[in-house]
Amino acid sequence: MTEEVLSAAGADASLEAPAKRARVADNTNGGEELLTPEHIFRNLRLRRIVRENHNDTVAQIALMFYRPDDDGLQGHGTVREADDNSNLLVSTGHMQANVFDNENCGDHLDIMSHFQLDDEGSNMLKTCCWIRVPGDALFAVAGEDKMVHLISLAWTREIRVLRGHTGTIVDLQPHPTDTRLLLSVSNDKTVRIWSVLNGTCLCIYNYGATAARFHPNGKAIFTGSSTGEVRQWSVPDFDYQNNEPILFTADNSTRIVTGKGGMGSAIDCLRFANKNLLVKSMAGRIDYWDLDTKALIRSFIVRSHGVSVSRFDVSYDDKYICVGNSRGEIYIFNIDNGKTIRRLAHKRSVRPVTCTIFSRDCRSVVYSSEAGFIWRYDYVDDETLAEWERPDESASNDDISE
């Protein structure tokens, strides 16, 4: 179902050998390399390109991280607990959902499962997310068919369909603490919270949102709109036996974060870091808001041409942002000081980036784009980089560092 464009070994040295000007100073202690995040980001090199067979836009990708309270970082090759599925990556594009193993096959990004939801290919998928359930790897996908499809990787089939939206579904978010709950955003001008257990709609927010996110404590949601406005809404305590959803209108929103007019263009992604809110517009600006003072801490500007949906990610430690632009480039920012840590660019990557994510240990950055492409940058140690830079290597400088 996928085409491997770049091999895992051998060809990498010739395609991705960095130039001498991109070398990182060797940082060692007693012969052991000290891997600071900045060092890791500077040593990222393109190691894998996958092209899905539909050749359409890969709308979103998502990694299944471990428990929310897990404060240990397990890297590639680390022995995992039985229910740790953080190596799994799901993608949605065309009417396909593909699941990849992002870690256990060395340099490979190997497909594990493939799901085709519409044989006629008339309804495109727009969004996906993982849902944490005991004994299974469950994910949700949705799009133009106006339904949320819950798919079990353990059973390799669709186990439930959530019906109720009357427009294209553009965003899905799992609840951060209650695995029974799922959030959906639709073009029908509603945001809904669902029970994953029985498929019932528990709550309807009557508001025209373009993206949404649960607060980390799960007691509120934040929505972004096509005008750049951000609102905060409460999440009620649900009676799972009640068959009628709780209804909210715009008058029930508790706070407008960015004010009237907001960011000036449609919001396509919201994330949290350090208990503050990050809001991205389709024009390429990310605003970092202090929710206690309602003050704008800083903005991050992604150089881009035109307006497009491009979801961004926050690192596991809440210190960094990775985000793509319409030119196929990836930017990594330091959240605390606003500095650009790295710009990732490759001569083959010229299409708009639709979604960018960190691996949990930040040693990989994965992103999706148009024409069915998924790209992965991996950390390469200094010794290997030095070998690639030897004069007898006939390598070109395809990787660009800032």
The pLDDT tens digits of the residues spanning 326-342 come to 999 999 999 999 999 99
- Kindly report, residue by residue over 134-143, the tens digit of the pLDDT: 888 899 999 9
**Amino acid letter at 389?**
E
Out of 72-76, 186-190, 288-292, pick the least confident.
Answer: 72-76
| Residue 2 maps to a domain | no
**Please, how many CA atoms are within 13 Å of residue 80, restricted to the half-sphere of its CB?**
18
> 140-149: buried (b, 16+ CB within 10 Å) or exposed (e) per residue?
bbbbbbbbbb
Enumerate long-range contacts of 176-181, CB under 8 Å, 24 or more apart: 176/68, 176/214, 176/215, 176/216, 176/217, 176/218, 177/68, 177/217, 177/218, 178/218, 179/131, 179/132, 179/133, 180/240, 181/218, 181/238
The whole-number pLDDT of residue 389 equals 84
Out of 277-286, 348-357, 393-402, pick the least confident.
Answer: 393-402
Q: How confident is the model at residue 3 (pLDDT cuts 50, 70, 90)?
A: low
Q: Decide if pLDDT at 398 tops 70.
A: no
Q: Decide if pLDDT at 73 tops 70.
A: no
Q: Which two tokens stand for residue 55?
A: 């050749």
| Residue 14 maps to a domain | no
Domain that holds residue 122: 37-67+85-379
| Residue 348 maps to a domain | yes
pTM, two decimal places: 0.86
CATH number of the domain at 203, please. 2.130.10.10
Radius of gyration of the chain (CA): 21
Number of domains forming the structure of the chain: 1
Greatest mean pLDDT range, 105-109, 243-247, 355-359: 355-359
| Residue 25 maps to a domain | no
CB-neighbour burial class of residue 191 (10 A; exposed 0-12, middle 13-18, buried 19+): buried
The whole-number pLDDT of residue 15 equals 37
Strand partners, 171: 185
Out of 38-42, 160-164, 386-390, pick the least confident.
Answer: 386-390
| Residue 399 maps to a domain | no
* Mean pLDDT score, 18-41: 54
CB 184 within 8 A of CB 172: yes
The whole-number pLDDT of residue 25 equals 34
Whole-angstrom distance, CA of residue 328 vs CA of residue 307? 13
| Residue 384 maps to a domain | no
Q: How confident is the model at residue 163 (pLDDT cuts 50, 70, 90)?
A: very high
Whole-angstrom distance, CA of residue 257 vs CA of residue 125? 30
